Each structure stands twice: as C-alpha cells, then as structure tokens.
Amino acid sequence: MSASSATSAMRPAAAPSGAALGTLPSGTAALRSPGWTGERVVARPVQTEPCSDAGAWARVRSAIRAETGDRMFETWLAPLRLVATAGDSVALSAPSPFLADWVAQHFADKLRQHWQIARPGTRQVTLSVVASDLPAENAVDSTVASGVAGMVAVAAPAAPLSAPVEHRYSFDNFIVGKSNELAYNASQAVAEPGPLGFNPLFLHGTTGLGKTHLMHAIGNAFLARQPDAKVAYLSAEKFMVEFLAALRAKDTIAFKQRLRSVDLLMIDDVQFIAGKESTQEEFFHTMNEIISAGKRLVITADRSPQNLEGIQERILSRMAWGLVADINPADYELRLNILHAKLAGMPQGIAVPDEVIEFLARKITANVRELEGALNRVIAYAALVNRPVTLEFTRETLADLLRAHEKKLTIDDIQRKVAEHYHLKLSDMMSARRAREVARPRQVAMYLAKKLTPRSLPEIGRRFGNRDHTTVMHAVKRIEELRAADRELDSDVMQLTRLLDA
C-alpha cells in the first residue's frame, strides 16, 4: 500500500451520516452523534470480547515510543485507542479531530509499518474520531445505527491530559551543588504536606540542568506522602495543543475541569506559549484558579520571568509573585560528583580511571545531560570494542563532542601558563637563553603546543623566537623520552595539561 493511500485512509475528514470516515475496515462505520453540529465523529464496533490484538497494539506503542521519544509520544500518540481489528485492517480512534488530523499527517506510514510487523497481514490502518464529552444517553443515534450491522456509536472516555510522573526521577538521585541548591530545597518544600510559604514555584535554567528531574521528583514525593492526591505534569506545548483541540471541539469546560481539579499542577517549558494569546489567556486563568484554591503550581522555563518575551505582563507578574529559583550550570566539583554518582549506579565490569572522570568534568561543561551522555558513550564503546577506558580512548571516542566544546587554545596561552608554572618571565619562552632552568620549560611549552594545538612545527618554531622546526621536533622527542624516565617532569606535564584543558 502506498504512503499516500495510507495517509488518506487515516485522515479524519467529516463524513455524511453512516458513511465511512476515510477508509474504514469491514464492519466499521463512522456516525454523527445526534444534535452534533461540529466535525466530531463517534464510532466503535460492538464486540462480545476484548480485542484479541491488544498485545500487538502494546508492541506497536512501545516501538513508536522508542523511535519518537517520550515527549512526542505522550503528546500525540498516547491518546490513541485500539477500536477493532478485522481481516487485513486495523481501526484506531482519537479523542479530537485536531489530534486525529495531526497524527494522520505525520504518523500514518509509521503506524501502518509497525502494525505490519506486530500483526502480519495488516494492509491498512484507519483513524476515526471518538467523542469524549457527550452524555451517554445522547451517544447513540438508533435511527442511523439500525442500518449498520453490529455498530453502536458511543462516547469514549477522555484521554489523559497529563503525562505520567516518571518514577526514575527522585530527590535521592538528584546531585546537589551550589548551582542548584536553592531550586532543590524549594522543590522539596513543595512536595511536603502542610502550609507553603510561596506559590507558584518557578524554576529556570538552560536545557539539561535538571529542571524536569526536579519536577518529576516533586510529583513522586508528593504522591508518596499523599497517595490519593491528583498530580498533573505536562509541557506547555501539550497544554497548548490540548487547549486548542478543546476549542475546536467546543469542549473547553471539560478541559478546564480536568486541569483545575488537580492538587499539584506542573507545567514544563512555559516559554513555548510565547505569542499564543488565546493559550496565554487560558493559562492565566488556570494559574489563578490553582493558586486561589490553595493547590500547588510549579512552572519551569529556560529563563527568568523578567527575561521571557512574548508573555503577557500579568502572567509574568503572577509567576514572579511566588518563588523564583534559578539553576545555574554545574561547576567542576558538581560535575565530578554527578559523574561519580552516575558511575556508581552502572553495572560493574568496566573500570573508568579517575583521570578520565576528571577529564570529562573539565571538558563537558554545557549541561548535565550531555555530561552523562558522554560517560555513557565512552563506557558503551569500550564494551563494544573490548578496550579499556583510558584518557586516549576517551579523546578518540568523544572527538566530535570535544571539538564542539573546545575553546581555541593558543600558543600564547601555553607559553603564559608554562612560564607561570616554572616562575619564569614570559619573554624567556622566546629568548635565546640556554640555561637548563629556562631551556627545559621552553621544551615543555613546545611539546604542549604540538600536542594541544593544530599548529604546524614551523609555526610553533616562529612563536618561540623564530626557531627552526627541527628544534621543535627535538623538543617534542626529548620531552616524550623524559616523561618515561622522570616522574617529576611527567607530573608537571600532566598538571599543565589539566590546567590548559580547563
């Protein structure tokens, strides 16, 4: 079946009463609910027992989640439901026309391909829209349904609005340092029962610093202490998508009720509603309702409220009214602690030397997520190629990542640092003096210039008092020999390398 026909088969266009929506499998029809004037269609085949392909549907969902990632899956694909399977066809349903149309445009081929793997013989996958807000007594049009064998139109339960809180994130496995201490303590306070001295809690920081980890940790701790509480976690993007779907379906009342009935509401990456006026209007009223009712609200963004652009002033004021806690990039000490904690939680088998941990902590400074990913990559590569983890292996494995992070180290930087280390004048690096206390440090500086910069031998020679390139070659060879025999010199070179890397 061609990609175009698969997409067409899944498109949830409105159909006349009793007509197929797109191309429906045998025994399935799409019906309009009585009195419905919008585009929503409701349909479900009558079955005497649960669908026998529930296991296949679970495998399809799992495979697509792995390909698309948790956020994309929870926003667009988690609300889909398996309606029926018949012959070579599979029928799915979506809770709103907006979501169904988006899925049909972006995931038609992927859904069909995974169904063909999980249920061999499947040739088409269709998607209908199932009403979720109509009273049960109004969900059946007996006049229309009577002409369709085995068909009853019913209202499906509302799809979950929020993504589940992830249990792998907790306060216990969040590594605390000076850069995130305030955010950590404030998050713990939100999770504690009893009066709270601030509301909302606004966490901000660049990507990969732990904002989402803290939100899930809050949700887990809150539920552990109050098991019957209602907790909702969703991204600002999903808030917007669900709200727009409710607007199109004329179902905003149910949307408001579902969101405002929770005890703890957490909205991630609020910067994504910038410039979305109707979404901001609903977001503002949701904030007010939650705070006024004494419920708890946690919001995150990539910058402070004062620096958010395209957000209504009254929303910014409301967010700043609570506690604003920033999460700064981790310092060297915190990065070291994070790596050691990550390593402690891994299966035993591959040893990672301290010098590799220190190297990663010095070089990968952008965010914690990238730092942990670099460690995972080194260990995984070492296991795959059956090699020990060494500093050289780490440099080789992370070459592309290190290049992206590498600041431009200059020969001037090296000369300055070496002169400082050996208590010499910077001019001694370029002078003609041959005294051992000057010549040896100069050779060390040449050696480091060759190892740590992309400069050629002639260029390095010119920067050291117009020396010949053969002098640089001799210096590099001499320092390599001495490092093997002179422990003190080797220690000097290693220390200088660490300082220059940092």
Same domain assignment for residues 67 and 196: no
Structural domain includes residue 390:
yes
Q: What pLDDT does residue 404 have?
A: 65
Same domain, residue pair 81 and 185: no
Shared domain for 231 and 268, answered yes or no, is yes
Q: Is residue 162 part of a domain?
A: no
Give the separation between CA 211 and CA 326, rounded to whole angstroms. Answer: 9
CA dist., res. 250 & res. 248, Å (int): 5
Report CA-CA distances (Å) from 490 to 35, 164, 361, 443, 481.
Answer: 85, 53, 22, 13, 10
Least confidently predicted of 138-142, 397-401, 430-434 = 138-142
Let me know if residue 157 belongs to a domain: no
160 located within any domain: no
CATH code, 494: 1.10.1750.10
Peptide bond into 200 cis (omega under 30): yes
How, if at all, do strands 323-326 and 201-204 pair? parallel
Contacts of 482 (CB under 8 A, 6+ apart): 489, 490
107 and 209, same domain (yes or no): no
339 and 303 in a single domain? The answer is no
Angstrom distance (rounded) from CA 447 to CA 252: 69
**Mean pLDDT, range 279-307, rounded to an integer:** 90
Determine how many CB atoms are found less than 10 A away from the CB of residue 348: 6
Residue 36 has pLDDT above 60, yes or no: no
**Alpha carbons 61 and 110: distance in angstroms, whole number:** 11
The residues, ordered by sequence, that sit 6+ positions from 79 with a Cβ below 8 Å of its Cβ are 94, 95, 99, 159, 160
Within this chain, do residues 256 and 298 fall inside the same structural domain, yes or no?
yes
How many domains does the structure of the chain reveal?
Answer: 4
Would 484 be classed as within a structural domain?
A: yes
Q: Which two tokens stand for residue 466?
A: 């117009």
Mean pLDDT is highest, among 107-111, 379-383, 411-415, for: 411-415
**Does residue 313 sit in the same domain as residue 192?**
yes
- Tokens 């002078």 label which residue? 431
DSSP state string for 56-94: HHHHHHHHHHHHH-HHHIIIIITT-EEEEEETTEEEEEE
Question: What is the average pLDDT score of the chain?
Answer: 78
Question: pLDDT tens digit string along 183-233?
Answer: 999 999 999 988 888 989 999 988 888 899 999 999 999 999 988 888 989
User: Residue 215: inside a domain, yes or no?
Assistant: yes
Residues 7 and 142 in one domain: yes
Is 99 in the same domain as 188?
no
Provide the pLDDT confidence category of residue 147 given band limits of 50, 70 and 90: very low
The model's pLDDT over 169-186, given as tens digits with 9 standing for 90+, comes to 899 989 898 889 999 999
Tokens representing 220?
């887990």
At residue 19, the pLDDT reads 29
Helix 277-292, helix 252-260: angle, nearest 10: 40
* Strand segments (E) across 322-456: 323-326
Last residue of a domain, one of 133, 152, 171: 152
Of 379, 405, 431, the residue at which a domain comes to its end is 405
93 and 120 share a domain? yes
* Domain extent at residue 259: 181-326
For residues 203 and 148, membership in a common domain is answered with no
- CATH code of the domain covering residue 125: 3.30.300.180
Q: Considering the entire predicted model, what is its pTM? A: 0.52
Q: How far is CA 131 from the centre of its chain?
A: 32
402 vs 400: CA distance, rounded Å: 6
